[in-house]
A and B are shown apart, each in its own frame.
Chain A
Amino acid sequence: MKELLRSWIEGETDPLEDLLDTSTREDQDREARKKISQEKIHRLEKDPKVQESVERVRKRFRKIYLAVAIISCISLSCVLLYTISLLPRYGAENPRATEVVSRYVEKGIEETGAVNIVSGMILDYRAFDTLGESHVLFTALICVMILLRIDRKNQRTGYEDYYTIRSDTYYDLSKDAILPLIGRILLPCILLYGIYILLNGQNSPGGGFSGGAVIGAGMILFSAAFGMKTADRFLTLKLCNMITFVSLAFYAFAKGYVFFMGANGLESHIPKGTPGAILSGGMILPLDIAVGLVVSVTMFGFYSLFRRGSIGMDVDYESFSSKRRKRPGGKKKS
C-alpha cells in the first residue's frame, strides 16, 4: 500500500488509468487500427450458432423483463387499492373536506351565471388552471409540428417524410365509393352538433373542449372524404395559425383582465346574464368559443401533420415528390 502510494506520488503509476479517458489522438488512431480485428467479430455475428445463443439470451431477458414488469404493476395496483380502502368516506366525518364542493354546488349558478356548474367551475372559479390547460393542447400541436412538418432540412436528408408524402397519393380516400357519400350526409350534422355543444356549454354538459373535438372530427372527416386538396382551399396554414393565435391571445388577455380586475377589487363590467339563456355566464361563452376554435384546429392539424407532414399547402410537395422520383431510394438510409 505504502509502495503504491509512493509510486503514485512520484508519478510512476496512475491508479485512475483505466477509469478516466486520458488517451491522445495517436492512441485513438492505434485503437482504430486495432478495430480491424472487429471484422472477425462481424463474421462471428453471422454464424448461426452464435446467433442462436444470442437469441436465447435475448428471449431469456425478455421473459425476465416481462415478469418484473407484471410483478411491479400488480404490486403497485395492490398498494394503491389498499390505499383507497383507507380513504375516508365521502363527506362522512370531516366537514372541511366538503366545504369547497358544497359552495360550488350551492352558489355556483348565482356567482358565475352558468347553469352547468362544471363550466362555471373550470372557467370562472378555477380559470387559471384552465388557462394553462388550453395551452397544453397548443403545446402538443407545436411539438408535433416540430417533429413532423416537412422543412428544407427534411427535404435535404429526409427519409422520414418520404413515406408520409407518398401515402397521400397511395390511397386517396376521396375516390372511395362510400366515404364521400356518407360524409356528405353526416358532415352538416356533425358540425351543427359540435357548434351546439360549443355554444351551449354554460347551460348543459359540453363546452369548448368537447365541442371543439366534435368540430375537429368533422373537419377531419371533410378532408378525408373530399381529399386534402379540397380542404386546402380554405384550411391553409396561415388561417390555422391565425385562428390559433387570435383565440389563445384573446383567451390569455380576457382571463388576464378578469384576474386583474378581480384581484384589485375593481368591477369588470361583464354582465352575468340570466342563468339558462344562451348569452349568460359572463365570459364563459366567448372563452368556450376560443377554446373550441383552438381545439378543432389542433385536431385537424394533428391529422394533417400525421397524414402528410404539413397543414395546408405550405410545402410545394409536387416538386418534392418529383425530386424524390428522380432518385428513388437514393438517400433512404436511416
Chain B
Amino acid sequence: MNFIWNFPLFTVVLSLFSGPLCMMLKAKAARNYTIAYESVLTAMNACVLGYTLKTGSSFTYPMGEFPAPWGNEIRAGSLEALIALLFSVVLLCSVTAGYHFIRKDMDESKINLYFSVLNLMTAALMAMAWTNDVFTGYVFLEIMTLTSCGILIVREIGRTTLAAVRYMILNLMGSGLFLMGIVLLYDISGHLLMIPMRESLTEIVRDPAAVPAISMAIGIMTIGISIKSGLFPFYFWMPDTYGWATPTSGAVLSALVSKSYIFLLFKIYYRAIGIHVIEKTPIFQILFVLGICGMVVGSISAMHASTVNRMIAFSSAAQIGYIYMGIGLGTVAGFAAAMFQILAHALTKSLLFLTAPYLAEVSGDSLKFHALQGSARRDPLAGTLFSVGALSMVGIPVFAGFSAKLMFGQAAVLGGIHWRILTVLAALGVSSLLNALYFIRTLIRIYSDPDQSMKEPARKRPILDKSRIGFFLAGEVLTLLNVFLGLFSWMISDVIYKGLGMFL
C-alpha cells in the first residue's frame, strides 16, 4: 500500500479540522491559513491524480478496520482525482481573487466565520468526490446544503437573506427527495456501499416486478439532485442566489457546488445502480430532453437579464443543461463530454463571477449594463479576464468551452441514433448562437467608448498594482487552465476516459 493512498482521507479530515480552527482565528490569519491549506489540498489531489494515472487503476480505501460491505470506504480513481483537483484549484483561486470583496461585503468580525463555513464546504466537496458510499454522499450533501446557504447570507443585505431562504427551502426539498431515494434503494438492496449495492440490484432486477420500485427510487433521487443543481424547470432560484452573493461565494456556488451534486448523481448512476439497470427506466431520455430545454431556456432568460451578474447566473442554467444532456445521451462518450463540461464550466464561470464585480467597481458599483459601458478600458485586467470567460462561454476555439461543445457533438455522432444527432447538433448550434448574442453584446459594451456622462472621471486602473496581486495571479491561473483545456483537450479527455474505465 502506497502512502499516497492515504491522501484522500487526509484531504477530508484536514478540511473538517480547518472549519473549527478558522472560527478561532482572526480574519487575516484565517485567510492566510485557508490559502495555505488549500494549496496543500491541491498538491495532494494532484499527487493522487498522478499516481492513479501511473498505475492505471483506482484504489479503495476502507475507513477503519472493517472491510467493504460493513464499514465506510472511499475510492480514488483518475476521474475522482481530476474532479477533486478541479474543486481545490477553483476554491483556491476564488478565495485569492475574491478576498478584496469579502472584506468589503462583510463585517471584520465575521470574516473568520466565512472561512470556517468555506472550509467545511471544502470538506464536503472532497468527500463527495471521493466517497464510495451512498449514505456518506448524503451526509456531506447535507453539509453542502447548510454551508452553501451560509456563504450566501454572510453578505448581510436583505436580498441575500431572501435568496438564501429560498435556496435553503428548495435545497432541503432536494435533499429530502434524495434521502427518500436512498432509503428506497437501501430497502430494496440492503446495502449502502456502492459496489455491493450494484451487485445486489443486478440480481434483483432480473425479476421484472422489482423494476417499478427501483425506477421510482432513481426518479426521486434524480428530481432531488436536479432541484439542487438547477436543471431546467428548477433553475429560477439561480439569478438571485448567484447574483447577490459575494463574488467568492457566487463563483464557488455556481462552479463547484452544483457540479458536485451532479458528480454524486453520476457516481450513483454509474457505480451504485449500474447503467444496465438505469437503461430499464426512461431516466436518460428525460434528462436528455430537460437538458436541451435548459440549454435554450437558460440562454433566453439570460438575454432578458438586467444586470451582468444575473446574466452570468442564467447562463449557468444553460451550461447545467449541457451536462445533463451529456449524461442523457447514455453513452460513455456522452458521460466523458459531460465530465469535460464540468471542468470547462467550473473554470470559466468562476472567472466570470470573479471579474464582473471588478468591472462594476470602476463603474460606480453598478452591475447594470449601461453603467458598465467602457469599464474594460478603465480596468484592463478585469476586462481581459472577463473576455476570456465570455469567449470560452460562447465556444470560441482555443478556449475550453469550444472543446466541450466539440465533445458533445462527437458524442452524439458516435451514439449513432439519427434523431439524437440532429437534436444535439441543433441544440448546440442554437445555444451557442444565443450565448454569443448576450456575451458578445456585453463584450462590445465593456470595450466601447466610455460614457461621457459618467459623474466620476474615468480613471484607469493599472494592470498590476500591489493590492490586486491575488486577483492577478488567480485570474491568470484560471485563464491558463482554460486555454490548456481548450488546446490540449485530447489530454484531458484521455484522463477522463481512463477514469471512466476504472470507475466501476
Contacts and interface: CB of A to CB of B under 8 A. Distances in A.
A260 B160 CA distance: 41
Interface residues of B, number: 85
Contact of B63 (A96, A244, A262): A262
B114 A135 contact: no
B1 A264 contact: yes
Interface in A125-156: 125-129, 131-133, 135-136, 138-140, 142-143, 145-147, 149, 151-154
B109 A241 contact: no
A197 B467 CA distance: 54
A138 B20 contact: yes
B277 interface: no
A24 B153 CA distance: 33
Interface string A15-55: 01001111111111100000000000000000000000000
Interface string A97-124: 1111101100000010000000000001
Contacts, number: 226
Interface in B1-17: 1, 5-6, 9-10, 13, 16-17
B70 A142 contact: no
A232 B88 CA distance: 40
B24 A136 contact: no
Chain A contact residues: over half helix, strand or loop, or mixed?
helix
B108 A100 contact: no
B141 to A, nearest CB: 10
Given A127-B63, A132-B140, A142-B117, A249 B370 contact: no
Contacts of B437: 16, 20
A80 B451 CA distance: 59
B496 interface: no
B70 A104 contact: yes
B493 to A, nearest CB: 32
B17 A258 contact: no
A151 B72 contact: no
Given A151-B109, A262-B63, A94 B204 contact: yes
Contacts of A20: 303, 437-438, 441
B21 to A, nearest CB: 7
Contacts of B161: 147
B370 A258 contact: no
A19 B5 CA distance: 54
B213 A262 contact: no
B200 interface: yes
A146 B454 contact: no
Interface residues of A, number: 72
Interface stretch (B183-191, B320-328, B411-419): B183-191
A262 B140 contact: no
Given A20-B303, A25-B454, A125-B66, A143 B153 contact: yes
Contacts of A28: 370
Contacts of B143: 132, 135-136, 139
Contact of A125 (B71, B142, B441): B71
Given A138-B20, A262-B62, A21 B369 contact: yes
Interface stretch (A62-70, A83-91, A203-211, A220-228): A83-91
B258 interface: no
A100 B69 contact: yes
Contacts of B114: 146
B180 A245 contact: no
Nearest to B117: A142
A135 B123 contact: yes
22 contacts: A24-B451, A25-B373, A79-B216, A80-B216, A83-B184, A94-B203, A96-B191, A96-B203, A97-B190, A103-B69, A128-B72, A138-B20, A138-B120, A139-B117, A142-B23, A146-B110, A146-B114, A151-B109, A152-B109, A248-B19, A252-B13, A258-B65
Given A86-B210, A153-B107, 10 more contacts: A21-B370, A87-B184, A94-B204, A99-B191, A127-B72, A129-B136, A139-B19, A142-B120, A245-B20, A249-B20
Interface of B: 1, 5-6, 9-10, 13, 16-17, 19-21, 23-24, 61-66, 69-72, 74, 106-110, 113-114, 116-117, 120, 123-124, 127, 133, 135-136, 139-140, 142-143, 146-147, 149-150, 153-154, 156, 158, 161, 180, 184, 187-192, 196, 199-200, 203-204, 209-210, 212-213, 216-217, 303-304, 306, 369-371, 373, 437-438, 441, 451, 453-454
Interface of A: 16, 19-29, 79-80, 83, 86-88, 94, 96-101, 103-104, 111, 124-129, 131-133, 135-136, 138-140, 142-143, 145-147, 149, 151-154, 241-242, 244-245, 248-249, 252-253, 255-256, 258-265, 268, 334
